Structure 1
Amino acid sequence: MLSTRSIILFFCSLALLSHSCNTSSNFSELKEGDLLFVVGKSQSEQTKAIKGSTSKKGDIPYSHVGIVRFVEKDVYVIEATPSGGVIQTLLYEFMQKAEKVEGKPLIAVGRLKPEYQYLVPRAVERAANQLGRPYDYAFDEENDDYYCSELVRFSYLDSLENPIFPPIAMTFKNRETGETEAYWKRHFAGLQLEIPEGKPGTNPADLSKSPAIDIVHRYY
């Protein structure tokens, strides 16, 4: 006999299909706490800049990441977005953020390795506790705001309350040309801040390569 969660995910899968998420796979494979890495639609200037400064030629240019959460009959993704801050989005709506190839969304599922799975419930709870927080336009780990991968980094803590995803030195330079992206120059000038080149941080593309997770599925 099917469990309640299996039934919920079955109907969620049907909903996804009805919203033109044309994949050959079943969303019942998702587990709470999974990380969804997204190649965002390129119309946004910020999305283009993120791709340019975090991905090299040949890399999959993930520009966004969110955390899967089950709430009663629905499957959500907790995410930090420039337009809404930290929000909770229905899964099928989250899928619409992705670029598509032959109708399939460019999204990969990252799952904590077995030795870290015990951290998932508390990590999801931490992320949910940040709902309503502003977006971190300054990309500053010392404030109380969050950008997408920063929310992930500070939600997944070990038993000593340390992030399991270590920081990297941020760069806002195009990884092909070595030049600072024009968007970032305007962005930080508008905030009257210096570009935090080399400061500790994170990004979806590098996070997707973390040794603490496995990419267990791709929807493309």
Structure 2
Amino acid sequence: MAAFVHFLGLCFLGLLVAVPWGAIAADEDPLQDVCVADPNAQVKVNGFVCKAMPNASDFVSPLLRKAENTNNKLGSSVTVAGAANFPGLNTQGLSFARIDYAPGGVVPPHNHPRASEVLFVMAGTLRVGFVSSDGNSTLFTNTLYPGDLTVFSRGLVHFIINVGDSQAFSLSGLDSQNLGASLLPTVLFASNPTIGDDVLGKAFNLPQKEIDMIKAALKG
């Protein structure tokens, strides 16, 4: 019996090594052809309740047709089409995004806890990068041109900046209908309620005056 239990344990460990854990963390597979989201449903589930009578328009979205205003402090604008605003995506495990950039515009360091991202450059010159989570914090960075693709793995911190002298835009496909996004500056210095200044001071070796300046800058 002990030998059999030991054998089962080895089989289980083998499974742990063989199974792609990123796939386990992904959205569940759909169990039917379509499940158009009903955002007005009173019942709340992990996703959206299916609409009783879908129609053809539920499977089309104009959300990404036009460039959005980049006249802001970051010089960028992100438009995401997910199940919440594109009901036909419900249960498909997909989202799509358009990002517009002014010259010098940036999407600050952030991560998506539930999605990997493939980014395709449509116009302009972008510098992108992500940081490994293996303990070495290795930065992988590249300069991209129209027609180039890059990938950001699920959960890894990444950034994008327009390094050209004209407007740029890119399109991204993500493997979750509700990808989530944690912008590091906001998460760390502008959470609600805020992380204690004693914690931030120790973590970043910052005096109180500089913590106050960072928080004020993010609010302004």
TM bucket, shorter chain: under 0.3
Structure number with greater Rg is: 2
Q: Which has the higher strand share?
A: 2
Q: Which has the higher contact order (CA 8 A, sep 6+)?
A: 1
Structure-2-length-normalised TM-score: 0.22
TM-score (norm 1): 0.22
